[in-house]
Structures are given as C-alpha cells and as structure tokens.
C-alpha cells in the first residue's frame, strides 16, 4: 500500500515519465525482494537500500529491511545495514531532491529515522532474548524441581525399604527358626507344640507392630522419640542391643558380646541406630546361613574417633536354611556410607564370615535425636 501510494504521488507530481516508469519498476522489484529479505535478511536489506537510492517507491520496503535486520542480527550488523540505508537515501536526495525540504534537513531526518529503526529493532531483539531466557529458566526450574521431587521420592522409598528390610528380615528369620523347630520335632508334646506356635503367632504380631512403627516414624522426619503416640517405640538404637541379643539367644544362637565402648552415653542417636542395624543384619545373616553356629559381636570406640562394629560367625553349610538375595548387605552398605562410615564383609582365613563397620563418632556430645 505504501509503495503504491508513493508511486501515485510521484506520478501526480511534475516528474518526468521516465522517472515514473523507474518508480514503478523499483516498487515492483522492491515488493518482489521482500521474500528474499525474510530468507536472507542482510543481502535483502542491502538490495532494497540500493533500490531506495534510485526511487522513493522502494523506501517502504527498504525501511522494513532495516528494521527486520535490526530485530534479528547483532548491533554491529544492524548498524551497518542502517548505515547503508541512510547513505542510499542521502544519495537519492542529491539527484532527486525534495523541493519542499532543504537537503540539510532531509539528511537530518534520514539519519534520525535510520537510528530510530536500528534502536527499535535492537530493543525488540533484546526483549525477545529476555523472554526466551526467562522461558528457558522457567523450563529448567520446572525440570530441576521435577528431578528433585523424583529424587526425594526415590530416597524416601529407599529409606522405607531399608527400614522394612531391617525389621522384617530379623523378625521373620526368628519366626523361620521357631517354625523349623515345629517341623523337625513332630514328636514334641502338645504343650511344647502349642508354646512354639504361640511364639510364632506373637512374633507375627510383633513384626506387624514394628512395621507400623517404622512407617510412622519415617513418614514424619520431625517426629522425636518423646512425640511418638502411646504404645509406640522409637527406632532402635545401641541401647536396645541387649534385647536384640536376647531374642537371638532365645532362638538357639549362642552370641558372645564384647564391649569396649568409652562413654556410650555420648553416642549420637543416628550413629546408635546405624550400629544397631549393622549388628541386626549380621545376626540375621548368621542365623540364615550358619544356623546353630556361635556368633561373636565386638563393639569398640570412643568419642572423637570411630566406632567399630564387628560380627563374626563360622561359615555355614553348603545348604543354608534360607537363601538371601544380597539386598540386605547392599542396603546396609548404603546406610553406613550415608553415615560417613566404611563397611567390609568377607570370609576370613579362620573359616569365619566377618562383617565390619567403622562409623565416625564426633568428639562433642551430640543432641539426642
């Protein structure tokens, strides 16, 4: 529309017919170069500027070319394209002057218009870049948030799985021991069978209660021992080790415990729970793989050093009572490493399977958890 209006204005003025034909041709060629401008902005803008030096009919398309380059190219390229456009219009002002406007003012207007087009385009380019950056940051933030949520869920699942394994593997291995006694002693008296069945039934109920307690505590990270519901118990620590040893001995496994722990009252709660789980896993494995064989438990350490937890038992028969999946030691290894400790398990030269864990013990008494 602007090109047609310009050609009409030139035709109705006192221009020669040759210049009118030039304006028509320049206007048509300028319109035909617009698709080239969209594909190749800089060459298209230069070509339109050359046409603008020949005819005012190409000025609307040349103006569009300068603005388009400024919107999509760095400042140096945009300034160069704007400079070519300004020079082209200054050249046209020399050989086709505007009779109603002195050349000096024409030059000022052309330079101001070129600078305004470059500034407008660069401002729009900066705004588009800012919007793209904000969109990318929002996308990354959403992706990172989703990743953090997924990691938190996986960590929570792993945490619950470890606690459930620690509780249920120990309790169910005890039940398997008592059930095995029922299977291999069919000649026992009815009273003995009833007593063993009662132990199995009580063990099942205890396993369910412990599972509920574990989930209750794990579902609330801020839940402290004093805040637990009535009848519930905190997660076990080193102070509960005597009960664990007593259960194991009642199931028929001889356990010899050696304690060389200085100031056990300064042992942090998290460290005590990890040590308890190490002993529990060691006793459970000994009961499954070396039934009826004695077990040695060693606890040694002091504040400011490391707590050593060692469980050793003779290597069992080729056909153990229960086959393990190996996930217990895997979860235990992860638990110990999360606590900043080290763990090792191997067969010794004495024919024993030895499980050792070294746990860091802070020098200052930690707040009880």
The answer to whether 368 and 269 are in contact (CB under 8 A) is: yes
8 A C-beta contact, residue 92 and residue 54: yes
pLDDT of res. 123: 95
Measure Cα distances from 304 to 237, 269, 326, 364 in Å: 19, 16, 33, 8
* 255-261 vs 295-301, strand pairing mode: parallel
What is the pTM for the complete model shown?
A: 0.48
Closest Cα partner for 248 from 170, 326, 196, 353?
170
Strand-pair partners of 352 = 314
Yes or no: say if 68 and 37 are a contact pair by the CB < 8 Å rule. Answer: yes
pLDDT value at residue 369: 44
Q: Answer whether 300's CB lies under 8 Å from 308's CB.
A: yes
Residues 6+ apart with CB under 8 A from 139: none
Count of Cβ atoms closer than 10 Å to residue 81 Cβ: 29
Burial pattern 284-296, b for ≥16 Cβ within 10 A else e, equals bbbbbbbbebebb
pLDDT for 22 equals 84
pLDDT of residue 332: 82
Question: Is 74 exposed, middle or buried, given 0-12, 13-18 or 19+ CB atoms closer than 10 A?
Answer: exposed
Residue pair 69/83 in contact by the 8 Å Cβ criterion = no
CA dist 181 and 342 (Å) reads 37
DSSP secondary structure code for residue 231 in this structure: T
Neighbours of 19 (CB within 10 A): 16
Euclidean distance between CA atoms 326 and 49, whole angstroms: 78
Of 233, 235, 211, 209, give the one whose Cα is nearest residue 221.
235
**In terms of Cα–Cα distance, which of 90, 95, 119, 87 is closest to 107?**
90
Q: What is the DSSP letter of 295?
A: E
CATH architecture of 237-369: 2-Layer Sandwich (3.30)
CA atoms within 13 A on the CB side of 73: 21
Count the neighbouring beta carbons within 10 Å of the beta carbon of residue 149.
10
pLDDT of residue 215: 66
Domain boundaries, the chain: 2-96, 237-369
pLDDT of residue 23: 79
Query: CA 226: distance to chain centroid?
Result: 34
Full pLDDT tens readout for the chain, 369 residues: 666 666 666 556 655 667 778 878 888 898 888 899 999 999 999 999 999 998 888 889 999 999 999 999 999 999 999 999 999 999 988 888 877 788 899 899 999 999 999 999 999 999 999 999 999 999 998 888 888 877 767 776 676 666 666 666 666 776 777 676 666 666 777 777 777 777 777 777 777 776 776 666 555 544 444 444 444 455 678 888 888 888 888 877 899 999 998 777 778 888 888 898 899 888 888 888 888 889 999 999 988 889 999 999 998 664 455 555 556 777 788 888 888 899 998 888 888 899 999 999 988 654 444
Q: How many CB atoms lie within 10 A of CB 59?
A: 25
Backbone angles phi, psi at 314, to 5 degrees: -60, 145
């Amino acid at each position: 529309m602007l090109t047609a209006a310009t050609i009409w204005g030139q035709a109705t003025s006192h221009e020669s017919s040759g210049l009118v034909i030039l304006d028509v041709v320049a206007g048509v060629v300028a319109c035909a170069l617009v698709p080239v401008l969209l594909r190749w902005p800089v060459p298209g803008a230069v070509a339109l500027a050359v046409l603008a030096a020949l005819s005012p009919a190409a000025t609307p398309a040349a103006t569009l070319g300068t603005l388009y380059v400024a919107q999509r190219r760095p400042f140096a390229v945009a300034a160069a394209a704007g400079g070519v456009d300004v020079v082209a219009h200054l050249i046209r002002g020399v050989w086709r002057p505007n009779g109603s406007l002195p050349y000096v003012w024409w030059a000022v207007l052309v330079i101001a218009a070129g600078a305004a087009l470059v500034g407008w385009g660069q401002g729009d380019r900066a705004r588009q870049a800012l919007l793209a950056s904000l969109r990318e940051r929002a996308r990354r933030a959403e992706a990172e948030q989703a990743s953090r949520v997924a990691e938190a869920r996986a960590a929570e699942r792993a945490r619950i799985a470890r606690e459930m394994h620690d509780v249920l593997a120990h309790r169910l291995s005890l039940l398997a021991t008592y059930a095995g006694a029922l299977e291999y002693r069919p000649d026992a008296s009815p009273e003995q069978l009833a007593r063993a069945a009662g132990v199995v039934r009580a063990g099942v109920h205890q396993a369910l209660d412990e599972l509920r307690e574990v989930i209750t505590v794990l579902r609330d990270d801020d839940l402290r021992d004093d805040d637990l519901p009535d009848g519930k118990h905190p997660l076990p620590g080193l102070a509960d080790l005597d009960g664990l040893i007593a259960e194991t001995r009642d199931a028929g496994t001889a356990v010899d415990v050696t304690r060389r722990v200085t100031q056990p009252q300064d042992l942090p709660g998290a460290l005590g729970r990890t040590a308890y789980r190490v002993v529990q896993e060691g006793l459970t494995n000994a009961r499954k793989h070396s039934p009826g064989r004695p077990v040695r438990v060693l606890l040694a350490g002091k504040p400011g050093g490391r707590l050593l937890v060692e469980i050793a038992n003779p290597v069992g028969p080729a056909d153990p009572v229960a086959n393990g999946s190996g996930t217990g030691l895997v979860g235990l290894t992860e638990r110990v490493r999360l606590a900043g400790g080290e763990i090792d398990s191997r067969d010794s030269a004495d024919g024993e399977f030895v499980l050792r864990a070294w746990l860091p013990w802070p020098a200052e008494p930690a707040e009880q958890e």
